[in-house]
Amino acid sequence: MANELQRFRQVNPATGEVFEAEVDLSALAEQLVAQARGGNVELTGPNGLLTGLTRQVLQSALEAEMTDHLGFERNGPASRGAVNVRNGSSSKTVRTEVGDVTIQVPRDRAGTFEPQIVAKHQRRLDGFDANVLSLYAKGMTTGDIANHLAEMYGEEVSRDLVSTVTDRIVEEMTEWQSRPLEAVYPVILIDAIMLKIRSGTVGNRPVYVALGIDLDGHRDVLGMWVGPTGGEGAKQWMNMLTELRNRGIQDAIIVCCDGLRGLPESIRATWPQAEVQTCVVHLTRNSLRFASKKHWATIAADVKEIYNAPTVTAAETRLEEFAEKWEADYPAMIQMWRRSWSEFTPFLAFPIELRKIVYTTNAIESLNARFRAAIRRRGHFPNEQAALKVLYLVARERKINRTNPTGETHGWKAILNVLAMTYGDRLGIN
């Protein structure tokens, strides 16, 4: 039909997804770039083509909303004799992804018009706020973000505005931290990261992080808590684990943790049937802490022989060989292995697919690596809330074409089959 809109195939540059649109965006983009080059015109900035296009789109959308609200076009026949009609407009400047844009917001005589595309009292479009939060999640300070946005938009952006935008997530973060959780998690991984936070004076504070894998194989951060100064402690973990239980987790099949003394007891006090698995990576690191650097490569190779053993009996034999070789030089290292043995070996009863998940806290280590990347440029955080805001934004960020710490677990169906054979009654799936 002649009045039907032609549809064009478009590609989302961020995701690669192909979709259909009623406007040929590619042709429009080429036209704008050609005009900018030919006329020596800027694409962005106060007089840029994109700024003008954004202004026109917003203005047209507002006029369309007013037409829909009144039920008739401007100066149309239906407007004659109508009680509620257009009543001029008011000027408003909004901050967008391409800079500040001034629009004319139409008014109606009855004062009942409530625009949606640019709501009343709204001074920033969502894209602007999303940019600010993305930069904040990358570890930039409010001052860094203000300077970056000023360079990008060609206009001053205050640090107070940046703080206002980032403070918007505090309520969302609070709700997230207290949300109900599943009754059973096949795997929970816990770890802590140290941050410098000011509380009178600047000190090292542990941030406790728990990541769970649910029955569908979905990995999610269950909670984050800032502890007192003095380093990671099993007593503090007891408080965090109790909170997780109070939020709904009645059972955890396997809990992976570092070799912190007293932590296995805290885990079993919270979930008595839980299998506690000490992270092999932490054990290896702690082994090297006791040893001379010249022996690191040999010790790491010997440790690999232990955790790659096909059975518990074979692992015990390799541990004795390891002790015979190194105990004279590093008795504390061997003592640490023997003390951690009962929490080290549970994974040896599982097939390779499950071992990869439970014998190391790699998933949470990956998350902590992102945390460290985000906080590297900061000397310290002014308070606990500022630290948690950054970590929360990092935790929820999904990077395109990258392995993310949260999300689906590869090969989960095979793993779930193994778990069901041993723990089916506790999982509630048999």
CA distances from 287 to 284, 296, 338 (A): 5, 9, 12
Task: Annotate 224-255 with three-state secondary structure.
Answer: EEECCCCCCCHHHHHHHHHHHHHCCCCEEEEE
Q: pTM for this one? A: 0.66
Task: Compute the distance between CA of residue 165 and CA of residue 157 in angstroms, rounded to an integer.
Answer: 12
**What is the residue-wise DSSP string for 84-102?**
S-EEEEEEEEEEETTEEEE
What is the band of 405 on the pLDDT scale with cuts at 50, 70, 90? confident
- Select from 111, 120, 112 the least CA-distant residue to 92: 120
Average pLDDT over residues 42-46: 60
Per-residue pLDDT reduced to its tens digit, 24-35: 555 655 665 666
Average pLDDT over residues 31-48: 60
Domain ranges in the chain are 129-167, 181-427
Report percent pLDDT > 90 for the chain.
23
Average pLDDT over residues 388-413: 79
Task: Compute the distance between CA of residue 280 and CA of residue 303 in angstroms, rounded to an integer.
Answer: 9
Per-residue pLDDT reduced to its tens digit, 148-181: 666 655 556 667 767 777 777 788 888 999 999 9
Average pLDDT over residues 349-371: 73
Span of 44-58, 156-170, 216-230, 397-411 with lowest mean pLDDT: 44-58
330, pLDDT greater than 60: yes
Task: Compute the distance between CA of residue 120 and CA of residue 392 in angstroms, rounded to an integer.
Answer: 29
Span of 42-56, 89-103, 243-257, 305-319 with lowest mean pLDDT: 42-56
- How far from each other are the two terminal CA atoms of the chain, in whole angstroms? 58
Helix, strand, or coil here: 297? helix
Question: Average model confidence (pLDDT) for the chain?
Answer: 79
Based on C-alpha coordinates, what's the Rg of the chain? 29
